[in-house]
Chain A
Amino acid sequence: MRVKAATILLLMILSSTISTANPGGEGDAVRSRDCAGSCHASSSTNGVSSATLSIEFPDEIYAGLLMEIQTSVEGVDVSSNSMSGMAILINSDGAKDLPANDGWEVITDPNGGTNNYVEITDSFSSQNIVTRSWTLRAPPTPGMYDIFLAVQHGSPNGGVAMSGISNLTQVEVSAVPENLPQLAPDWTPTNTRNLGEVTTIKLETLNTDSATVELKIGAEISEIPVEDGEFIIPAAVNPGVVEWRVILTGEGPTQTSPWFRLTAQEPGWEIDETALYLQSIALLLLCAGLVILRRPSGGDYNKNYDNTNYISTESEVEAPQESTSPVGPPLPPEGLPIGWTMEQWQHYGQEHLNKLARGEI
């Protein structure tokens, strides 16, 4: 039995495989550069990504204004789930590397969130380039800033967590010219909406006389009228992304905003939490009650404090010991030999009779 159990256990251990840490991804988040958990394993499970990484910036970047950048991951094979994590960072040290540390703000990440780390599922391969757009708000102070693109992904055969980081890209953030038509510094676009919802977006602008909004669905670009600083994007029928941008005119040079992405998604999963909590309490009480109700039979109630069984068991154990004490052979008709005690007869009586029978006495 033990050998069988040990064999089964051994087979189970041998059948396990070493896999990359977090193969399902870690989820989009605001995150420093890390190893996706693989640093807890041996060094043989880590590797350097062969991807070519690049970031494209617009020609002019103004302090505190919105801008769009493109990040590209080129020439890399990833694991079978075709997923890669991408992160925008400000240094390659793995600490204090969040864009916010330099004053950058992620307004819209490629997945429609506001994170500096996103997980992208696409056709990554050694022949492909996967490009994604990010909308950022530039730091409020003009100057030169460093930006990096980092990636982490699995290997085609699994088992190795690959990570890589781009070369340093420096960008110049300029002071905002006077009278430049612009979106208000505290204005942020809407990133997501539910299917079937008409979306009204209110623009807040500075130094602007008029605004025109362009809506891009697929390759088609159409104009949307802006009334009292508001415009309406029609409801989406299917999950997907529409892009829009605004062209601002005023006394200063005309400005075109980056393309803002509006992601339509299925409504999130919802549940009546009150009913759920009540049901949980009900099940807790019911289960406890059902188990306790299965009470022991009457005689067993005080079993923990009842030593009767223990005592009777001991008595039963002792009794046979008394009965097995030597009683000796039957006494001869003439009684005990002279000088013997009954105790001696019990122990040595049989030996005495044997000697008598052999004529030795």
Chain B
Amino acid sequence: MISAGTLHVIATELTIGMFALSGVAFLLCLLKKGPISREAVAHWALLGGLLATPFAIFTGLNAAPGEGIESPLLANKLILSTVSTGLAIGILIRRKWGGDVDSRHASIGMITVALMLTTAGMGGEYSRNETLLYFVPKETVFLFPIWASILLIVLGIVMLGKSAVEHRR
């Protein structure tokens, strides 16, 4: 048998490895250096990382001691990972719809990767009490009121719907 903790490490390394590769490729896109395949590598690696992310999240939930979210680190991990996932989905859809890999697109890709790497770094602090991100305020959780979250969900759905409709035209 393999413990949830070990399985989480495997899933996390898979996820982070692909996100890191994507980040390097997006950096090359930003600098406009390196082989032309950098664009394909950036987006395919991002897709791979995105597909592996749910495994990392679920194994992480199983590996965490206690029940529920009992630490601000876990709450911030959840928020950061969903923001990163949202940006990654947006980048991939935009590219699929024919968007240019301009400097802004590449920058958003790098921010996506940075957020996911920060999430992983916080996981290390949670489990081993070690981190390189001393300067990041991880003990503070910015929590919106429920009405604001619902408003943002509606706004997000409207934006996604509007983009989809305009894309079909």
Which residues of A are interface residues toward B (Cβ below 8 A)? 22-25, 27, 268-296, 300-305
Contact = CB atoms under 8 A, between A and B. Distances in A.
Given A282-B149, A284-B85, A292 B90 contact: yes
A282 B144 contact: yes
Given A289-B159, A294-B94, A283 B143 contact: no
Contacts of A275: 143-146, 149
B159 A271 contact: no
Contacts of A285: 86, 152-153, 155-157, 159-160
Given A273-B69, A276-B75, A291-B108, A296 B100 contact: yes
11 contacts: A22-B128, A275-B149, A280-B79, A285-B159, A287-B90, A288-B156, A288-B160, A290-B90, A291-B87, A295-B99, A305-B98
B133 to A, nearest CB: 15
Contacts of A22: 128
B72 interface: yes
Contacts of B65: 27
A337 B152 CA distance: 86
Chain A contact residues: over half helix, strand or loop, or mixed? helix
Given A275-B146, A300-B100, A286 B75 contact: no
B16 interface: no
B128 A278 contact: no
A307 to B, nearest CB: 14
Contact of A284 (B86, B94, B155, B159): B86
B93 A279 contact: no
A292 B65 CA distance: 38
Residue among B108, B149, B157, B159 facing the most chain A CB atoms (10 A cut-off): B149
Contacts of A270: 70
B79 A283 contact: yes
Given A22-B128, A283-B86, A289 B145 contact: no
B93 A283 contact: no
A289 B149 contact: no
B78 interface: yes
B91 interface: yes
B71 interface: yes
The 6 closest A-B pairs by CB, nearest first: A291-B90, A285-B156, A24-B129, A289-B159, A287-B86, A282-B152
A282 B97 CA distance: 23
Interface of B: 65, 68-72, 75, 78-79, 82-83, 85-87, 89-91, 93-94, 97-100, 104, 108, 128-130, 141, 143-146, 148-153, 155-160, 162-163, 166-167
A290 B82 contact: no
Contact of A303 (B75, B82, B100, B160): B100
A24 B99 CA distance: 46
A295 B82 CA distance: 22
A276 B93 contact: no
Given A276-B78, A279-B143, A284-B86, A271 B149 contact: no
A272 B82 contact: no
Contacts of B159: 285-286, 289-290, 292-293
Of A270, A272, A294, A305, chain B has the most CB atoms within 10 Å of the CB of: A294
| Residue with the greatest number of chain A CB neighbours at <10 A, chosen from B71, B89, B99 | B99
Nearest to A22: B128
Contacts of A300: 98-100
A216 B68 CA distance: 35
Contacts of A292: 90, 93-94, 97, 159-160, 163
B5 to A, nearest CB: 11
B94 A283 contact: no
B163 A289 contact: yes
A303 B157 CA distance: 27
Nearest to B78: A280
Contacts of B93: 288, 291-292
B135 to A, nearest CB: 18
Given A271-B141, A279-B79, A295-B94, A287 B87 contact: yes
A22 B128 CA distance: 6
